[in-house]
């Protein structure tokens, strides 16, 4: 069983070494690691020469999903994993994945847990969040929308991309979610584990962890368009339609919250009015999402504060 890892990169010299080393640390017998670079100018390409095993493409692209598609087109492995240039795989992830597929040879996806961490002032790691409940991330329409999509904590059969196509570049912020929706609606089977497979590094330049408000709004609009497209193109079960209604309600709520955070008063009021017209029950989702966001912020600040006390 051969595993192909795809890493998109643009000016990530500071981080990409740890990502590469985390793949090597798997000590897996058969793998390849593709770096799809968008034309770095910070010394990344020179740095990558330290690793002769890498397969490298460096040319302009249309964003991270275009880079992933380029890597997938070139991959020769049975399985494909997506590793961000500033994140790392957890020890033993590849072996765990291989064992699960050996036991479940008909599964098309392996879904694992993830951890979010940041570096302290002394270089020590501070765990911010940990997700190890497969009920929240195993492959399903509900988890691809309302749960935890976690594209990086999964390994995919390469044949999935041959069958269902690449990441859709019409969704510049949330194409990974659209891919999971697409394959879950087609009844794609996965096997899952509570093992941590993936570790996200939370830092100031992280595209995943620190998406700006405008990027979040773009992602919300992507989601609303996905709902429209999915309803128009797929023969949905009533349970699937209910999930999409719940997700739309949550997206409408989050759109209002993000605009409020951006202090766009009139737009916030207009979007709230629009949401009330579309689905009056969005207000309950608004209250729930707001409470969850506040709780996450408090938890993050508390953990950071505790760590700062330990470092004194």
pLDDT in tens, 197-249: 999 998 665 555 445 678 889 999 999 999 999 998 868 999 999 999 999 99
Is residue 175 within 8 A of residue 91, CB to CB? The reply is no
Instruction: State the pLDDT at residue 28.
Output: 95
Mean pLDDT, residues 68-91 taken together: 97
Instruction: Say which residues have a Cβ less than 8 Å from residue 132's Cβ, sequence separation at least 6.
Output: 113, 194, 195, 196
CATH class of the domain whose range is 3-201: alpha beta
Q: φ and ψ at 2, to 5 degrees? A: -105, 135
Mapping DSSP to helix (H, G, I), strand (E, B) and coil, where does residue 213 land? helix
Q: φ and ψ at 287, to 5 degrees? A: -65, -40
Between 208 and 112, whose confidence is greater? 112
Task: Please state, rounded to an integer, the average pLDDT across all residues of the chain.
Answer: 90
Mean pLDDT, residues 302-312 taken together: 62
DSSP 71-107: HHHH--SSEEEE--TT-EEPTTHHHHHHHHHHH-TT-
Mapping DSSP to helix (H, G, I), strand (E, B) and coil, where does residue 1 land? coil
pLDDT in tens, 40-65: 999 999 999 999 999 999 999 999 99
Using pLDDT thresholds of 50, 70 and 90, give the confidence band for residue 279. Answer: confident
């Amino acid at each position: 069983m051969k595993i192909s890892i795809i890493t998109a990169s643009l000016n990530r010299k500071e981080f990409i070494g740890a990502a590469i080393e985390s793949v090597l640390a798997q000590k897996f017998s058969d793998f390849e690691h593709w770096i799809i670079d968008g034309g770095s100018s910070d010394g990344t390409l020179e740095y990558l020469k330290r690793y002769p095993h890498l397969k490298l493409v460096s040319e302009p692209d249309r964003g991270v999903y275009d880079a992933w598609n380029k890597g997938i087109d070139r991959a020769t492995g049975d399985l494909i994993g997506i590793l961000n240039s500033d994140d790392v795989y957890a020890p033993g992830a590849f072996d765990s994945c291989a064992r699960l597929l050996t036991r479940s040879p008909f599964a098309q996806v392996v879904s694992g847990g993830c951890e979010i961490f940041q570096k302290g002032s002394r270089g020590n790691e501070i765990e911010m969040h940990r997700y190890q409940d497969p009920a929240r991330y195993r492959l399903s329409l509900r988890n691809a929308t309302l749960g935890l999509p976690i594209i990086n904590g999964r390994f995919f059969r390469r044949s999935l991309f041959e069958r269902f196509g690449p990441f859709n570049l019409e969704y510049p912020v949330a194409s990974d979610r659209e891919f999971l929706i697409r394959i879950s609606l087609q009844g794609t089977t996965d096997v899952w584990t509570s093992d941590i497979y993936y570790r996200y590094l939370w830092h100031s330049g992280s595209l995943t962890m620190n998406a700006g408000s405008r990027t979040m709004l773009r992602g919300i609009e992507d989601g609303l368009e996905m709902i429209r497209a999915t309803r128009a193109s797929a023969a949905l079960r009533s349970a699937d339609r209910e999930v999409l209604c719940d997700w739309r309600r949550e997206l409408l709520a989050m759109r209002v919250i993000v605009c409020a955070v951006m202090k766009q008063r009139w737009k916030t009021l207009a979007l709230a009015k629009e949401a009330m017209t579309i689905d009056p029950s969005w207000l309950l989702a608004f209250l729930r999402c707001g409470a969850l966001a506040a709780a996450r912020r408090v938890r993050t600040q508390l953990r950071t504060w505790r760590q700062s006390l330990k470092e004194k």
